Chains A and B, each alone.
Chain A
Amino acid sequence: MNPVLFPRTKEMLLSMVKAYPEARFMAGGTDLLVALRQKQKALPPLIGLERMEGMGDILKEGEEISIGAACTLKEVASHPLTRQHLPLLCQGAASVGGPALRNMATLGGNLCTASPAGDTLPALFLLDARLDLLSETGLHTLSMEAFITGPGRTALLPGELLHRIRIPIPQNAPIQHFEKVGNRNAMAIAVASLAALIRMEQGLVAEARLAWGSVGPKVIRSSEAEAALVGKPLREESLKEAAFYAGKAVQPISDIRASADYRKTVSASLLQRLILYRDSDCRGEQS
Chain B
Amino acid sequence: MSKPPENAPISFFLNGSPLSLSVAPGRRVVDLLREDLPLTGTKEGCGTGECGACTLLVDGLPMLSCLMLAAQLEGRNIETVESLEKDPVGEKLITSFEEKGAVQCGYCIPGMEMTALALLRKHPEADREDIRKGLSGNLCRCTGYVKILDAVEDTAKNLTAPKEMP
Contacts and interface: CB of A to CB of B under 8 A. Distances in A.
Nearest to B134: A99
A50 B59 CA distance: 14
A98 B67 contact: no
A33 to B, nearest CB: 5
A223 interface: no
Given A29-B67, A34-B48, A3 B25 contact: yes
Nearest to B138: A98
Contacts of A65: none
Given A15-B1, A46-B26, A100 B72 contact: no
A interface: dominant SS: loop
Q: In the complex, which range does the number of interface residues on chain B fall in? A: 20 to 34
A187 B139 contact: yes
B136 interface: yes
B interface: dominant SS: loop
A98 B134 CA distance: 8
Interface residues of A, number: 31
Interface in B24-44: 24-26, 28
B90 to A, nearest CB: 17
Interface string A233-259: 000000000000000000000000000
A2 interface: yes
Nearest to A38: B48
Interface string A22-36: 000000111001100
A3 B5 CA distance: 9
B72 A1 contact: no
Interface of B: 1, 4, 6-8, 24-26, 28, 47-50, 52, 55, 58, 61-64, 67-69, 71-72, 74, 115, 133-134, 136-139
